[in-house]
Amino acid sequence: MIRRIKIGSVVKHAFLVLVCVASLYPIWFILQTSLKTNAAYELSPLGLPIHSTASNYLQVIRSMAVPRWAWNSLIVTLISATLSTAIALPAGYAFVFGRFRGRSTLFNSNVAFMVIPPVVLLAPIFTVMVNVHLINRLPSVIIFYVGLFLPFSVFFITNFMRTIPVELLEAARMDGLSPFGTLRLIVAPLTSPALFTLMLVNIIYGWNELLIALVFLQDDKSRTLMAGLSVFQGRYVTQQPLVMAGSFLSIVPILLLYAFGQRFFVKGLTAGIGK
Amino acid sequence: MGPAVHTTVDRTIVAPSPPVKGRRSRGDSWPYVFILPMVVCLGLVFAYPLITVIRNSFYSTSMGETTFSGLENYRSLFQDPVFMTSLFNSLKLLAVVPVVTVVAMTIALMLYEGTKGWRAYRLMVFVPYIIPATAIGISFSYLLQQNGILNITLRGLSLDFLALDWIGNSNIVLFSIGGVLVWTQLGFGVVVFTASLLSLPRELSEAAAIDGATRWQTNRLVVLPQVRGTVEFFLVLQAIQVIAWTFPYVYVLTHGGPGNASSVMDLYVWRYAFQYSSPGLSSAAAVVLLLISGVLIAIYTRLRAKQGER
């Protein structure tokens, strides 16, 4: 009996280790390839980077648009994540504590918008952006992202605010606090853990987004990192280590965020499911 | 920025308004102010484009002139072999959903049993879900190409017959894309399912074990029925993901090629709007995509409402 359990447990751990290796290998492959010279990579694509070199990184950072693209990504991501959170906060408050006409219709549409494929919205918004001369300029993507992040943000904040006891708000009103004051002084501070999680989720979404950035930002100066990388891939077909250096740079911020905010991630990214 | 200052400011704002009771019967206006920014954004980014794309699907453009053409776009769409390939590819990729669900649930059950180091396993499996699809796609395009790492390894193991042209052969390419999708979505499933399993009361499974049920019986008859709601949500969300959100993977990995062998719905909508400049066809395809996701969205909201009743 004991032996059977032991064998079972070994098999289980072997399987789990295998799954983890399979999950992480493509990322390790990016890193190890980025540390090889082109010649070393062609000689031994599989092998470890014994004579590792930072030359790909230096080339990518010094003589290519990668730093510019990373900067654009950062700006776009931070502004749109912050704006959508800031817009969702009062909306969530109104949904939970206010009464107004069309409340449930609006909330249900919001839930449905959460899963509308963005590609469907692309062409009409593109026409609008052409007309207001925002193509190849970051605000075009920022506006789109703010809208795209909103349904989930509102949904997430609403769910969290439902756990705030109503008595607290009654007390605030007795004290003569306006709805705006109640939101700012009582509800917003209580909601801050959720807001933090939400920012993380939106930042991941924005940083990783490719389709919209690709369509709206078409010159080298205005591209985000993802849009730039996809162009990069086609431009340097024969220099895979170089492309891998760019790719790895795009992953690093996400890995850092994950390392520091793992708990929040899991909570935020699984919120659409419910228990 | 002391709170006391805010309080006094807010008091002065509130002061002129009538007493609480009167305010309530009049109907508060503040909620309208609070939701206004959201309504404006959702209107611009969702409502307006949705209406426009549906309208455009009934118009065709030729020689710079746009005319109403009824269902003409839809007729051309369903006669376009590229569209049919894209539609069927998206539907075929749905096979990813049960695979991800079963494998993720198997792993989640293993972790739930209190396996040593389960947190570390979960931490690692989740990574592919959050790193950028663009980087993942590039990495896999090098791993899976004819002379890529996978084939070098297979040949090294004398498994030459398995060293296929994973992304260059039109009969195999969809399996490769499906495989990459499984790879990215698996960790999401594991995290969702472990969270759900951990929220279950332990007593039932313990009682079943005392009654002499095997682990398999306990899982099948006691544990799984309790997480059914979560699994239903997961299935629907994954189906939506696979039908309508695969663009970055397909774009970076194959560009829809070879030929159009790996084209999918969202790639088609993008390509016909922005590469082939045929807005009519693109809009019609977008509406078809919307209808398919609409069915899934309806199921999703239904499930959500059901959950709310509980």
Reading chain A (275 residues) residue by residue, the pLDDT tens digits are 555 667 878 888 999 999 999 999 999 999 999 999 888 888 888 878 777 788 899 988 887 789 999 999 999 999 999 999 999 999 999 999 999 999 999 998 998 898 899 999 999 999 999 999 999 999 999 999 999 999 999 999 998 999 888 888 888 888 888 889 999 998 999 999 889 989 999 999 999 999 999 999 999 899 999 999 998 888 888 888 999 999 999 999 999 999 888 777 777 777 766 54
**% of chain A beyond a pLDDT of 90:** 61
Cα separation, A94 vs A188, whole angstroms: 13
Residues B86 and B230 in one domain: yes
Ranges under pLDDT 50 in chain B:
1-26, 310
Q: Do A123 and B273 touch (CB under 8 A)?
A: yes
pLDDT tens column, B185-226: 999 999 999 988 988 888 888 888 888 888 888 888 888 888
- What are the angstrom distances between the C-alpha of A21 and each of A26, A28, A29, A34? 9, 10, 11, 19
Q: How many CB pairs under 8 A join A and B?
A: 302
Cα separation, B44 vs B37, whole angstroms: 11
Task: Please indicate, yes or no, if residue B64 is contained in any of the structural domains.
Answer: no
pLDDT score at B244:
84
pLDDT averaged over every residue in chain B: 85
pLDDT score at B308:
63
pLDDT score at B178:
96
Q: Do B128 and A26 touch (CB under 8 A)?
A: yes
Q: Which of residues 79-138 of B touch A (CB under 8 A)?
A: 107, 110-111, 115-116, 121, 123-136, 138
pTM of the model: 0.89
Q: Which amino acid, B130?
A: I
pLDDT score at A4:
60
Q: Do B46 and A93 touch (CB under 8 A)?
A: no
Token reading at B286: 């977008």
Residues B217 and B258 in one domain: yes
Residues B108 and B157 in one domain: yes
- The distance of A262 to chain B (nearest Cα, Å) reads 8
Residues B206 and B283 in one domain: yes
Residues B196 and B303 in one domain: yes
Q: Domain range for residue B33?
A: 3-56
Residue B191: CATH number of its domain: 1.10.3720.10
Task: Please indicate, yes or no, if residue B152 is contained in any of the structural domains.
Answer: yes
- What are the angstrom distances between the C-alpha of A166 and each of A100, A186, A271? 18, 12, 23
pLDDT tens column, A27-72: 999 999 999 988 888 888 887 877 778 889 998 888 778 999 999 9
pLDDT score at B27:
64
pLDDT tens column, B260-273: 999 999 999 999 99
Q: How many structural domains compose chain B?
A: 2
Task: Please indicate, yes or no, if residue B74 is contained in any of the structural domains.
Answer: no
pLDDT score at B309:
55
Residues B96 and B49 in one domain: no
Token reading at A185: 């002084």
Task: Please indicate, yes or no, if residue B292 is contained in any of the structural domains.
Answer: yes
Residues B103 and B39 in one domain: no
Q: Do A273 and B13 touch (CB under 8 A)?
A: no
Which among A121, A226, A270 has the least Cβ separation from residue B134?
A: A226
Residues B107 and B224 in one domain: yes
Cα separation, A5 vs B257, whole angstroms: 48
Task: Please indicate, yes or no, if residue B65 is contained in any of the structural domains.
Answer: no
Residues B103 and B38 in one domain: no
Task: Tell me which of B6, B7, B21, B35 to substitute to probe the interface with A (most A C-beta atoms closer than 10 Å).
Answer: B35
Residues B44 and B133 in one domain: no
Residues B29 and B101 in one domain: no
Residues B38 and B127 in one domain: no
Q: Do B269 and A122 touch (CB under 8 A)?
A: yes
Task: Please indicate, yes or no, if residue B21 is contained in any of the structural domains.
Answer: yes
Task: Tell me which of A24, A115, A175 to substitute to probe the interface with B (most B C-beta atoms closer than 10 Å).
Answer: A115
Cα separation, A185 vs A67, whole angstroms: 40
pLDDT score at A79:
98
